[in-house]
Structure 1
């Protein structure tokens, strides 16, 4: 069944839903409620059916006109949508807005699922999905720890390269959490969040593996170019050419597919 128009939503007694945030959209579909969506934001790229929906723009750069043009009866928004002035206009418009907390840990996914389910009036389905996802993540983590054994890999997550500078993950990030779940050790613990690192700091981190989002076009950087940079040349990762690239939403979204992402990453790190 395709996406409903706002009029169809009203006819069934259910408001047409605009989903903002890739993981929130994934949860809506995982709950079997995708046919209630009338639009999505640019970060909502999975499942493939979502791409057929009208796109209201990037979640942090929304315009009131773009959002209201799809006539949503309910906006399900991941925390961090904006800018603030847009959210003020939307709040004043009378459209119901439910904000779903952004989570960067495995245990937080179940709460996110339940909050989406409550907003959609399908709490029972959400409870079942949340329990299933929790069990899958626990099993994936256990398998990853077995693969890692007594020799966990040091993993450096590189968010971007800005002017030749490495923007990397420290502690308290989604990247740090997924690395730990997959049986790895975050190579950087000296700072929180994502920050630029000097070449010397990258070398001192001694990563065994470089982890990056799989970017295309102008944002892509070839393996040989990356490992030819002074920051990476002395690292164990450069010696073995160990680099893992994964889809950003899949890797860092912390949604229904996280258990599979943990398994895939651990297999990249240690082999199957």
Structure 2
């Protein structure tokens, strides 16, 4: 079974609309935790009839029947729920699922966003598919205002160099190609691996030690950084644990996570 940590790593490739149902859907299945959360954020949680593993926010989502995970999706179970809209994360086992469901006359919405700032428009599009456009416009407008406020605040913050530890085994981070990096920039945090070619590069400890970041942000277990007391982050006790459900799922709570990150890191400026 795929671990929670690995599932969160996989769900870093999120959210762009391809097709929406018309008329508004009434029986909806969400095949990624971020999509489940977005539906609830739009006030349409009562339309959901099933979801996948790790769809655990808000509390009501935990009661939804499970149809699989990032490694396996039960197509027969999807059909048994007779949905009129299925929200798909088109990666891995879900890559060709939209085509399969179309052959049964089931509408789909595809979500594969790679841009943090696309979130408001993604929510507007999803709200149209769900028949709650007014709620989508209102929520998207609120998020756009919060993005603007974060950008203004970032200009007044002193920059800090950071290493974002995405996982410890293997040691993995993020680059400028990852939408998470945009969140760091909103907090005036300079990623030491922003120039890496891969969106989620593997890195060796020696590279991090040589870069000597002022902060180490832990999205998973500590990789044993106290073994390197010469690092500024270790000397200053600047190893901060992150709430990854907020930062790794592209939902309205992502803004909460970024705002919290900015506040946490202000103490080290």
Matched positions, count: 244
Q: How far apart are 1:250 and its partner, in Å?
A: 0.4
| CA distance, structure 1, for counterparts of residue 246 and residue 209 of structure 2 | 28
Residue in structure 1 matching 2:118, options 103, 108, 124: 108
Equivalent residue number for residue 160 of structure 1: 167
Equivalent residue number for residue 199 of structure 1: 205
Contact 2:174 2:193 in 1 (8 A): yes
Listed as ranges, the matches of 1:1-272 within 5 Å are 14-80=25-91, 82-84=93-95, 86-105=97-116, 107-146=117-156, 148=157, 151-162=158-169, 165-192=170-197, 193-213=199-219, 215=220, 221=221, 223=222, 226-229=224-227, 232-271=228-267
Contact 1:78 1:102 in 2 (8 A): no
Change (3 A) 1:109 1:14: closer
Structure 2 unaligned runs (5+)? 1-23
TM-score (norm 2): 0.80
| CA distance, structure 1, for counterparts of residue 184 and residue 109 of structure 2 | 30
Structure 1 unaligned runs (5+)? 1-12, 216-220
Change (3 A) 1:67 1:271: farther
SS at match of 2:62: helix
Provide, for residues 130-158 of structure 1, a one-character-per-residue CA deviation record: whole Å limited to 9, x for no partner.
11111022223433443x2xx31112111
Change (3 A) 1:79 1:89: closer
Q: Which has the higher contact order (CA 8 A, sep 6+)?
A: 2
How well do the aligned residues superpose, as a CA RMSD in angstroms?
Answer: 2.4
Q: How far apart are 1:180 and its partner, in Å?
A: 0.9
Greater share of strand: 1
SS at match of 2:165: strand
SS at match of 2:93: coil
TM-score (norm 1): 0.80
